[in-house]
Amino acid sequence: MLAEKYIPRYTIEDYKHWQGDWELIEGIPFAMAPSPFGKHQKILVNIATAFNIEKFKCSEKKYNVYAELDWIIDEETVVRPDILITCEEVEKHLKSAPKLIVEIISKSTATKDEEIKFNLYEKEKVEYYILVYPDIEKVRGFILKDGKYDKFFDDEKGILNISLCGCPVKIDVSKFFI
């Protein structure tokens, strides 16, 4: 605990001047790994495509799918999820909680995605948090209930049934890995 007292804290103003790709979580900088490998990128495109296909089936209010878009939460927190979905159009950066976030898990990001971001997204009231595990071809889904995440999906195949911005969404998660 003593060392924590001396760890420097940074703000979004500091973040804007850094070289490379970073996330800033509660004033603590996290260097982003080098560009993800091909498998990660392929899965990212498959997921975004699946959500976009479902979007065009909906006659209600549409949602928007973004890949690697900065979400500025506050003066000390900026994250860049693999995919986020929101009901609004975003010009530069997202400034309010998205409806859904997808993180594609790698060995180098597992702790951050499964613990730090899990707690952050829960606190910020992101309705759905989806974790995708390329190495074992598995998907875990969490829904916000009474302010806490509750696991509602944990499988390598099956249909992910959710509602986004008034649109019923049904996605075969096995298609993430083709």
Percent of the chain with pLDDT over 90: 81
Residue 3 in domain: no
The answer to whether residue 36 scores a pLDDT higher than 70 is: no
Residue 77 in domain: yes
Residue 113 in domain: yes
The answer to whether residue 60 scores a pLDDT higher than 80 is: no
Task: Indicate the number of domains in the chain.
Answer: 1
Residue 57 in domain: yes
**Strand-strand pairing, 159-164 and 148-155:** unpaired
**Strand-strand pairing, 128-133 and 100-104:** parallel
The answer to whether residue 108 scores a pLDDT higher than 90 is: no
The total of other beta-carbon atoms located within 10 Å of residue 99's CB is 18
Residue 141 in domain: yes
What integer is the mean pLDDT of 113-140? Answer: 97
Phi, psi of 4 (to 5 degrees): -60, -30
pTM: 0.93
Which tens digits make up the pLDDT trace of 78-106? 999 999 999 999 999 999 999 999 999 99
Give the span between the Cα atoms of 102 and 168, in whole angstroms: 18
The answer to whether residue 77 scores a pLDDT higher than 90 is: yes
Contacts 24+ apart (CB under 8 A), 66-70: 66/90, 66/94, 69/93, 69/94, 70/94
Which tens digits make up the pLDDT trace of 131-151? 999 999 999 999 999 999 999
What integer is the mean pLDDT of 59-77? Answer: 92
The total of other beta-carbon atoms located within 10 Å of residue 178's CB is 8
Range of the domain at 143: 36-177
What integer is the mean pLDDT of 3-9? Answer: 79
Residue 102 in domain: yes
Residue 48 in domain: yes
Q: Say which CATH number the domain at 115 has.
A: 3.90.1570.10
